[in-house]
Amino acid sequence: MGICEDRVVIVTGAGRGLGRAYALELARQGAAVVVNDLGVGNHGEDTGERPGEQVVAEIEAMGGRAVANFDDVADWDGGGRIVQTALDTFGGLHAVVNNAGIVRDRMFVSATVDEWDAVMRVHLRGHFCTSRHAVDYWRAEAKAGRQVDARIINTTSGAGLQGSIGQSAYSAAKAGIAGLTLVQAAELGRYGITANAIAPQARTRMTEGAFGEAMSRKEDGLDVFAPENTAPLLAWLCSQEAEVTGQVFELLGSKLWLSLGWNDGPSRQNDGRWPAEKIGSAVAELMAERPAAKPVYGTS
């Protein structure tokens, strides 16, 4: 028996890459999976493909349960239909995995407002719509006196936690998702809902374009950036065992760690309001005392 036996899980963007690896691992662990995927390209363009159907076929071939869904995660009504697919097909819902995303990589000086809006729509609005409908369902269950043991798993990124050259829109969206996760965890615990995020370091169509050959690294026979490495962590976060909330997890190959996030650093106290002429020397002292930050991706 797997750790997600009899759980019902929605995975968005589940046709390829990480989403596919998540859906397959969840099925191996006993979950019934709603495989949501629009079949679009890296930039959100229509390809006419339906990879979600192939993932469903793979799950059914292993004896699992799955259903394909082709709604747009960033469409309000579409998010509702994704949740309703789970309820109509499997009779319940226990977890939402917000994985769908696109990229519009561009140096900030060349970025356009349309590219910015497209990235924000899929990542931030996409994380909102499906989860918001799921929370409506779980909250109603809790108010009706039924026990809720629900999970939201969001997808942030090292780009959002520390920044990435050439990815200002993507970095800003992923930073917003990390902040959203903290708020969801604080607000939704009363209904029996946990919220956590993963910052995957994995080889996908999006990361291969940005990092290329570096994503093929192997260590001691382990394919360090294989999407399958992250899938067991995701499955655990969807399970009843995972009572942790408000955390951001990172995983690279065989290394798993928690992100600490923003926290108070060193400080200086002045006698009354700080005069402008004293701030420079105080900041220099603070910078000398603070721990070194992780570098922005793409910087030396």
**Total domains, the chain:** 1
Q: Whose CA is closest to 85, among 74, 101, 73?
A: 73
Residue 63 belongs to a domain? yes
Domain holding 174: CATH number?
A: 3.40.50.720
pLDDT of res. 203: 78
Q: What is the pLDDT of residue 127?
A: 98
Query: Is-contact 29 3, C-beta < 8 A?
Result: yes
pLDDT at position 50, please? 82
Q: Which residues are catalytic?
A: 170
Question: Confidence class of residue 222 from pLDDT cuts 50, 70 and 90?
Answer: confident
Q: Is residue 42 part of a domain?
A: yes
Q: What is the mean pLDDT of residues 46-67?
A: 90
Residue 56 reports pLDDT greater than 60: yes
In a domain, 24, yes or no: yes
**Binning pLDDT at 50, 70 and 90, where does residue 271 land?**
very high
State the residue range of the domain holding 131. Answer: 8-258
Specify if 104 maps to a domain. yes
Tally the residues of the chain.
300
Listed residue (134, 151, 133, 178) closest to 238, CA to CA:
151
Per-residue pLDDT band at 223 (split at 50, 70, 90): confident
Residue-wise pLDDT tens digits, 85-105: 999 999 999 999 999 999 999
Is 51 within 8 Å of 82 (Cβ atoms)?
no
Q: Rounded CA gap, 188 and 223, in Å? A: 37
pTM, two decimals, is 0.91
Letter for the amino acid at 289?
A: E
Q: What DSSP character marks residue 105?
A: -
- Which of 218 and 11 is assigned the larger pLDDT? 11
Q: Is residue 227 one of the residues assigned to a domain?
A: yes
